[in-house]
Amino acid sequence: MAGINLRSSAFNDQAPIPDRYAKDGGNLSPPLDWSRPPPGTEELVLLCEDPDAPSGTFVHWLVTGIDPVGGGVRGGELPQGGIPHTNGFGGRGWDGPRPPVGDPAHRYFFRLYALPEHVELPERASAAEVHRRLDGRSLASGTLLGLHQR
């Protein structure tokens, strides 16, 4: 499977996510840029998940229907054409990191999937459901890992 280069101007891969993007900070979605998806891509899907959450993998952001020609998203905005889903906090769209105080840094995986066709996801899809439906269907994907602790 081909790869998509996913990056952010706000933080480097495997580096801390600034507080302005955290739930108890500014709670802005971080800016993201990605390389061109492969030919045949009809839709992009963006997932941000925290596998270190005490209750199990926690969805912070799930956006479907992203236009594959967009190339990225500015901080605090929704990707072009994107449809936000309900996150683990119960809100629609982005809600940033908020790990328990004193926990070691949690890992926040931003994953971008290039799909050859639209895949219907439940409004409040779990990270496991997203992986189950997309991992074998994507033409390409990219991952960016951010860290955060309080």
Determine phi and psi for 81, rounding to 5 degrees: 80, -5
Q: Please report the pLDDT score of residue 70 as a whole number.
A: 87
CB atoms within 10 A of CB 5: 11
**pLDDT at residue 118 greater than cutoff 70:** yes
Q: Buried b / exposed e across 49-74, counting CB within 10 Å, b at 16+?
A: bbebbeeebbbbbbbbbbebeeebbe
Which pTM was predicted? 0.97
pLDDT of residue 28: 98
Share of the chain above pLDDT 90, in %: 97
Using pLDDT thresholds of 50, 70 and 90, give the confidence band for residue 44: very high
pLDDT digits (tens, 9 = 90+) for 8-28: 999 999 999 999 999 999 999
Mean pLDDT of 80-104: 97
For the chain, the structural domain boundaries read 2-148
**What pLDDT, on a 0 to 100 scale, did the predictor assign at position 33?**
98
Q: What are phi and psi of 148, to 5 degrees?
A: -155, 140
Cα 69 versus chain centre, distance: 18
Residues 48 and 112: their CA atoms lie apart, in Å, by: 9
Token digits of residue 67: 């236009």
- Mean pLDDT over 65-88 rounds to 96
CATH architecture of 2-148: Alpha-Beta Complex (3.90)
